[in-house]
Structure 1
Amino acid sequence: MTVDPGDIAEVAGIRATSPLRTVSDVVLLVDRYPAVSVLDSALNRRRIDPAQLMVIPSLIRGRRGAVAARAYLSEADGRAQSPLETRSRLRCVDGRVPPDTLQLEVRDDDGYLLGVGDLGWRGPRVIAEADGRDAHAAPEAVFADRRRQNRLVNAGWTILRFTWQDTLHPAYIPHTVRQAIAAAQRR
């Protein structure tokens, strides 16, 4: 496979393929979860824009893995802020309990922002947080997470917290979300 000169960029003095070319190549080589994570990350970090997703099928046409990779494109969502959020969302999608939104802003009656949830189910007022070790392990982050969770719970929301380990068990996250939704509907 040859690389078009237009697909070459310089990053910190090192020649590399452009973000669009890199993403297009990677989604051909990996399974669904890492492929969608790469797409989500590239969109979230604005390395590619949503319009460029439409170009990827032409870049991968006829290459091994292209059929599967085209399916991954429809699952990309730049609102996911980490691979853990992507994996948690895909577990919910696979478990037939997809969130109706990502990065759900919850405000009080005065418009004060109580918190932002990674995955949200607005009707039953359920939020799932994908707690990565790096972002949530520092003491300051733990305290901030607790304060935010208390504000959301006091506003009538159920908060679920998931880790990377939880994503390794396909049924765990959707089962837990389903239980929380059912409990919320009984109230």
Structure 2
Amino acid sequence: MVNDYLRRHDGVITLAQAREVGLSHAAVQRRVRSGQWVRRFPGVYFADDRPYTDAARVRAAVWSYGPHATASGLSAAWWHGLTQFAPDRVEVTIPRNSNGRAKPGCRPRRRDLAPSDVVEIRGVRVTNLALTVVEAAARDGGARLLDAALQRRVVGLSALWRAQLRHAGRYGSPRSRLLLQAADAGARSAAERILHKLLTAAGITGWKADYRVGRYRVDVAFPQCKVAIEVDGFAFHSGPSEFQNDRTRQNDIVTMNWQVLRFTWLDLTQSPERVIAVVRAAISA
């Protein structure tokens, strides 16, 4: 039973869990003294016959704060499979009345979560998908995580707004709100306004907004050098039919000897210098 438990839980086990599968405290200590198990945190052990993976590290950190501890933020995002890499420090949400303190490699947050805010995945409590995405969006690189979650349809915008409003006073809430507003129906128009400001601030002239090319209108055009710029909101707004229409439209414009550049809201907000460099290269070619 012990080996099966360890196999299913990344080699991590707590003292309470060890007792549940039939080991006494003395039996646990014998395993520690012999080097079979390594004490990672008080009351949390790792069977040292396998690699100490990120999954084991996150699991051990969460379990070290007790049965009501919950992985949150980027830790929860990684556990949900939304990010490729686990964070260096594991964010763990613990109840306000708990006495947990900071531990090596851990970032505890004190707050009370409603039962509906928590799900259990592979034996670890994590914030539910909507709350995880909203909170992770406030971290560095979170805008791309939000965009990816919406593109993959793993969570809907309405669920994200509900999570945002339920936890409006939390850390990072203002940034999450701005991202959700940008991801809402006005994302494309917001992206156009950002592009206009970037071009003006960079001193780039000769462009016209909402310019007609053949039977289409492009968001920004440089008529003299035939460079058209199309801007998108978050990519999830494009379904299969819209995607095909955009590509047909772009191909038609290209056949009229125009060069077409496409930028997303994320390009404009996360990499504005790169956007301006691409535009300068295109209009000077």
TM-score under structure 2 length normalisation:
0.33
The structure that has the greater radius of gyration is 2
Larger relative contact order, structure 1 or 2 (CA cutoff 8 Å, min sep 6): 1
